[in-house]
Amino acid sequence: MTDTLLLGLTQLPTLVLFAKITPNHVEATVFAVLTGVFNFVNTVLSPNMGILLNKLFVGVTSAHLDDYYKLAVMGMFCSLIPWAFIRLIPTKAEVEASTVNSSPSI
């Protein structure tokens, strides 16, 4: 139950954003790609990045939890990195303009 709620709170805003800027007739493809990317990130990339950051910089183990706060702070800062790329997402007007310019004239 909580997994579904968390999934809705984390993935739904992104899916809605992409549904608004996706050109017509490719919505299903974009949804499939985004779902695949979310699954890969949540099951493979995030856990392995956490392990890598811990081994390289912090060294928290089950017997030595003194520096756990450093790991938590690093995780919070890493979660803010995507905000640096938010300007790369095109607006709906930009998507429509590129679609109109690239459509063949009859």
| Mean pLDDT score of the chain | 85
Q: What is the pLDDT of residues 2-35, one digit of tens each?
A: 677 887 888 888 888 888 888 888 888 988 998 8
When pLDDT is averaged across residues 87-94 and rounded to a whole number, the result is 84
Residue with tokens 């809705």: 8
What percent of the chain clears pLDDT 90, i.e. is strictly above it? 36
- The residue type found at 6 is L
Does residue 4 sit within a domain? Answer: no
Does residue 8 sit within a domain? Answer: no
Does residue 104 sit within a domain? Answer: no
Does residue 103 sit within a domain? Answer: no
When pLDDT is averaged across residues 95-99 and rounded to a whole number, the result is 80
User: How many angstroms separate the CA atoms of 2 and 9, rounded?
Assistant: 10
- The residue type found at 42 is N
Does residue 72 sit within a domain? Answer: yes
Q: Give the 3-state secondary structure of residue 48.
A: helix
Asked if the model's pLDDT at residue 105 lies above 60, the reply is no
Which domain covers residue 62, as residue numbers? 14-90
The C-alpha R_g of the chain, in whole angstroms, comes to 19
Contacts of 23 (CB under 8 A, 6+ apart): 95, 99
Q: How many domains does the chain have?
A: 1
Task: Please answer whether residues 77 and 57 qualify as being in contact, where contact means their C-beta atoms are separated by less than 8 angstroms.
Answer: no
Does residue 99 sit within a domain? Answer: no
When pLDDT is averaged across residues 40-57 and rounded to a whole number, the result is 92
